[in-house]
Structure 1
Amino acid sequence: MKSNYFLILIVCLLISCKNNSQSKSNNANSNEIENLYFSTVDFTKAKISSEEYSKNFNLHNDNYLSIVFNLNKPLIQSLQELAPTLSEDELLSKGNFQFSYLVDGKLIYVENLNTGAGPKTRKTEKLRQVIPLVTPEQINFWGWFMWQRFMKINGGLDAFTEGNHTLSIEIKPYLRDGTLKVGPLLAKGNIAVEVPKIHIDENLVPVQKIQPNSGWEISKANFDNNKIEALNRKIAEGRFEDINGIVVIKDGKLLIEEYFNGAARGSLHNTMSVGKSFASTIMGITIKEKFIKNENTLLKDFYDLKSYKNYSPKKDSVTLKSLLTMSSGFVGNDNDEDSPGTEFKMQSSNDWVKFTLDLPMHESKVIGKDYNYFTAGSGLLGDIIHKSVPNGLVSYADKKLFAPLGITNYKWFYTPQNIAYTGGGIQLRAIDFAKYGQLYKNKGKWNGKQILTEEWVKKSLTKQVSRAYADAGEDGYYGYLFFNNIYKVDGKNYEVFFSAGNGGNKILVFKDIPFVVVITASAYGKPGNQVNVNKMMTDYILPAILEKQ
């Protein structure tokens, strides 16, 4: 009996050791999987074969980078393993590939690929996957945009310092069904990345001396020159793209004035949607002078809404305030290209006011509460002002805003009806945009004259509506065509209201510190343009000007 017992025990131990060995082997195979390959050939001219696989990539000199991997089974089958009870359509609406980017073994960025990215056949049939990441020019392919998000928004550029690195990409299936479920590794590969030294004109690095005749008193306050020079170097290297001007005002005096990429003090800068804030300003002056009663005035007081398409009684409740706060309830959202009311679709029409008033109302959105970034609505405000003031919007703005600020060099963008467009595009010198920001810092006063009422400035720079969950990546609050957010530097929060425009343009008016900052840029449509300007503020500009207060 004892001998049988020991025999059974030995057999069990052998089986257990074998299972443990297999488990370790399986885990090792999972960790050592190497079935993703890189290629630096021009994929538009040649089909990538194993002969074109590359072991090295030069970050600045190689124009192309693609990845190639082969699945053992279509992605849909891996998704089914994560949620066996879901149908194919349900799986495809909730899952896709997950990409993880590692530099020198450190995880830098994880992207759960949008479920709409890639055709259905790529997920249900294809085993061989070829994904372009880097090309000389922008392409309309999700892989290119994913690489841009990795590099420009989520740490890639900062991880690839000068020298030699290893880039690893890992691919898994993911499914978001209430919770995020991630499956086992499907593909993994590495490539050596060389980051050569960027040679720049060293004359671009030193802090630029403020030239005379700025129209500002020059500040004698100190700031950290080393941090500004470090920023200038990054701009010269292209780390921060297409930056054209930086102006810093402290206590109403000119502290820093820098220009790049061929810009100078006299350059007019197209700051895109920064121009929306001017609609708020001119509306405030119009109300101050009683050409419009107040911001609670109804849209229907200016237009016969029943004569436009998609009339509903809800339109009768739209106020000027709801247009100022991007909470009017119209079905329009510039951050959703499928929305019927985007700026692009409006500008493709012949009559931008009619386009806007023809839009339907959102059934569930609450007017005055639910935020959607709606350029057409801010353009509508310009038309309302134009109808309400003597001699039209342009003449009125010049007389009541620009002339008092001493701004003579500027340019409007116009609608097809030749009315100044308040949805964005007004061009000023960077140093004059700073005057505009300082007007708000001064609570509406300039050179002793009250251009805006303190009450209007306070309303404009108040958290009127929340932007949380309104759009992908958005948070903070919104005032009267001014954004609100927090910059964090060395563990301290600095609240700021600001105008913002495509390309990286910003006018920043800080609440509790004595600064106005203007950044003009022309990285129009490039991923991360706003994120990079925020990084300039938190890593360079604010540390430089706060440190020496």
Structure 2
Amino acid sequence: MSLPRSAAEDQGLSGAAIDAFVAALDASDQEFHTVTLVRHGQIVLEAEWTPYRLTDRHLLYSVSKSFTSTAIGLAVDAGLFSIDDKVVSFFGPEDLPETISDNLAAMSIRHLLTMSTGHAEDTVQKLQRGERMVQAFLSLDVEHEPGAPFVYNSGATYMLSAILQKVSGETLLQYLQSRLFEPLGITEATWGSSKEGITFGGWGLSLSTESMAKFGQLLLQHGVWEGKQLVPAEWVEAATSKQVSNAHEGNPDAQQGYGFQFWRGRHNTYRADGAFGQFIIVIPEYDAVLAVTSASADMQAAQVVFWDHLLPALEGKEVPVVARPERLELPAPTGPAPQAGDGQTYTFGENPGFLQAVRWDADGSAYFTFFEFGQDKAEDNGYVFAPGGWNEQPGLASDVDVDGTQHRVVTTAFGDGDSLVATIRWLAGPHAADFRCRIADGRMTVQGRLNVSFAPTEFTIVSE
């Protein structure tokens, strides 16, 4: 079940203005991967930058939160709980601390939804250190009375998922499968879960770009899909309205208020957004939805591109004629073929690039393994880097979604003097990396650069 397609002109938009918007995205210093624009319920723009594809799943990071909010709204409508129910009421002695502070006792589902739990900082890093994340959250000091100023808190969203699972007997993903995803024709959704079997809630959802657009269109239609009220209109209105102030945030599109796991934005918009530029932006005034996946190091800068170049198109203003590029792509880096390596395997300790081992062979190709994906040092468990454009790799056991679908990975390499420069893109998400490798005195030095990361994006490591 796909959204209908239409020419931009048939939905009141200038085709030239849409082409200029795509050209602006392509020329931006932000790295866009896929874009879908819906106007009056019709897809009027689909763009993908090779090697990324609109039809692939994309890791959405905190876009996940807005889907969690929707599940909570469905559960409230079903009478499973109220948003004013206290968080501690859902958990037993095995999870609760021996002494429940007044602030923890006062914390409600509403506070989880609005990121006003009373914590002084995001709790998620503290939760991920152990196997019992619910217990860890409930054991944390709640420094302020709940309802205190907005503090972005992915741990709060995890707790929403945990409460839903406690009450419904289904994981968050299972709960949404029949109530939201199936009615929308979304069949590809996958969502990571913790060691205690709880869907992450605040992160970990993967969807195609069109499925992102469908969700935005459902919200724009006040929860109605094909004549059926899938999500209560009252919940959509409340969730996407300003519930708390976030005026202390650093950027103008992050200062417009926060709802129930939705951000308010400029131009009377609201959005789900995720790290490194994953967006579902609903623009009610112009009956439009914009879904974007990207690897943006500056999410405000990405939104500035949208407002500077999409808004005039929606407003019907004349814009400078700029031809849409004939081909949208993120080309593979090129250069001379790498020189011969020594065929030795060099191993590395913990590092920001998760690089575990490199073997640079006599034919100039190289073989890399990565810690991040749970790989060991077996010779058949990694990626080949060789010159000649993007080389799509066979998926590894660790590159398979829960439904058996292989993630796509592309690599390439070139030589720069006595260095091998290797590039990898993990196409199921925003991440890519460059590794400049050089061998001297029996050791390999690697200068790494990540396109986007929660860790430092540049680092230098030397083999063990």
Task: Give TM-score, length-normalised by structure 1.
Answer: 0.54
2:388 paired residue number: none
Equivalent AA in structure 2 for residue 270 of structure 1: L
Q: 1:477 aligns with which of 257, 270, 281?
A: 257
Question: Residues 306-356 of structure 1: CA distance to partner in whole angstroms, max 9, x if unpaired?
Answer: 8327731221111101100001112333xxxxxxx2x33332332222221
Alignment of 1:368-387 (within 5 A): 368-387=147-166
**Residue from 22, 34, 54 that aligns with 1:232:** 22
Contact 2:83 2:109 in 1 (8 A): yes
DSSP-derived class of the 1:518 partner = strand
Task: Tell me how large the CA RMSD over aligned residues is.
Answer: 2.3
- Does the aligned pair in 2 maintain the 1:484–1:495 contact within 8 Å? yes
* 1:425 aligned partner: 204
Which amino acid is 2:133 matched to? W
Q: Which residue of 1 aligns with 2:84?
A: 296
Aligned partners of 1:354, 1:242: CA distance in 2, in Å?
Answer: 39
Inter-partner Cα distance in structure 1 for 2:283 and 2:21 = 21
Q: What does residue 62 of structure 2 align with?
A: 273
- % same residue: 25
- Mapping of residues 256-335 of structure 1, within 5 Å: 256-292=45-81, 294-304=82-92, 307-308=96-97, 311-333=100-122
Q: Distance in 1 between matches of 2:251 and 2:287?
A: 32
Partner of 1:218: 6
CA deviation after TM superposition for structure 1 residue 247, in Å: 1.1
Within a 5 Å distance, the mapping from 1:175-190 to structure 2 comes to none
Residue 217 of structure 1, CA deviation: 4.5
Structure 2 residue 332 is matched with structure 1 residue 542: no
Tell me, yes or no, if the aligned pair for 2:36 and 2:47 is still in contact at 8 Å.
yes
Structure 1 contact 310–359 (Cα < 8 Å) conserved: no
2:231 matched to 1:462? no
- Amino acid aligned to 1:516: V
SS of the residue aligned with 1:404? helix
Mark the runs of 5 or more structure 1 residues left unpaired by the alignment.
1-212, 334-340, 487-493
Shift in Å, 1:258: 1.1
Distance 1:475 1:535 in 2: 14
Contact 1:249–1:434 under 8 Å retained in 2:
yes
Structure 2 match to 1:510 = 283
Q: 1:263 to 1:310 in 2, by over 3 A?
A: farther
Deviates more, 1:222-231 or 1:450-459: 222-231
Shift of 1:261: 3.6
- Aligned pairs (5 A) from 1:411-422: 411-422=190-201
Query: For residues 403-435 of structure 1, what are the alpha-carbon distances to aligned partners after superposition, in whole Å with 9 as ceiling and x for unaligned?
Result: 111110111121121221101120111111111
Q: Between the two structures, name the one with larger relative contact order (CA 8 Å, sep ≥ 6).
A: 2
Q: Measure the CA separation in 2 of the matches of 1:296 and 1:225.
A: 48
Q: CA deviation at 1:302?
A: 0.4
What SS is found at the alignment partner of 1:290?
Answer: coil
1:326/1:230 Cα in 2 relative to 1: closer, same or farther (>3 Å)? same
CA distance in 1, matches of 2:250, 2:134: 24
One-letter amino acid of the counterpart of residue 353, structure 1: V
Post-superposition CA distance 1:471-528 (Å, at most 9, x none)? 6874120001001121xxxxxxx211111111111111123221111111133xx3x1
Between the aligned partners of 2:256 and 2:23, the Cα distance in structure 1 is: 31
Q: Which has the larger radius of gyration?
A: 1
Describe the shift of the 1:315–1:273 C-alpha distance in structure 2 as closer, same or farther (beyond 3 A). same
Separation of aligned partners in 1, 2:114 and 2:237: 14
Q: 1:370/1:309 Cα in 2 relative to 1: closer, same or farther (>3 Å)?
A: farther
Cα pair distance change 1:325/1:253, threshold 3 Å: same
Q: Counterpart of 1:256 in 2: which secondary structure?
A: strand
Distance change (3 Å), C-alpha of 1:468 and 1:430: same
In the TM superposition, what is the alpha-carbon distance from 1:249 to its structure 2 partner? 1.1
Q: Distance in 2 between matches of 1:370 and 1:482?
A: 16
Do structure 1's residue 434 and structure 2's residue 222 form an aligned pair? no
CA distance in 2, matches of 1:262, 1:511: 32
CA 1:389 to 1:279, structure 2 compared with 1: closer, same or farther past 3 Å? same
- Between the aligned partners of 2:194 and 2:271, the Cα distance in structure 1 is 25
Structure 1 contact 245–258 (Cα < 8 Å) conserved: yes
Q: Report if the CA contact (8 A) 1:222-1:548 is conserved.
A: no
The 2-side partners of 1:426 and 1:375 are apart by: 14
CA distance in 1, matches of 2:99, 2:35: 45
For residue 378 of structure 1, give the secondary structure of its aligned residue in structure 2. Answer: helix
Matches within 5 A, 1:92-103: none
Change (3 A) 1:398 1:224: same
By how many angstroms is 1:392 displaced?
3.2
Residue number among 503, 526, 531 corresponding to 2:300 in the alignment: 531
> Which secondary structure does the structure 2 equivalent of 1:258 belong to?
strand
Cα distance in 2 for residues equivalent to 1:470 and 1:546: 28
Q: Could you say which residue in structure 2 is the equivalent of 1:73?
A: none
For 1:344 and 1:315, how far apart are their aligned partners in 2?
A: 19
Give the direction of change, closer, same or farther, for the CA distance of 1:300–1:307 in structure 2 (3 Å limit).
Answer: closer
Alpha-carbon separation, structure 2, partners of 1:420 and 1:226: 43
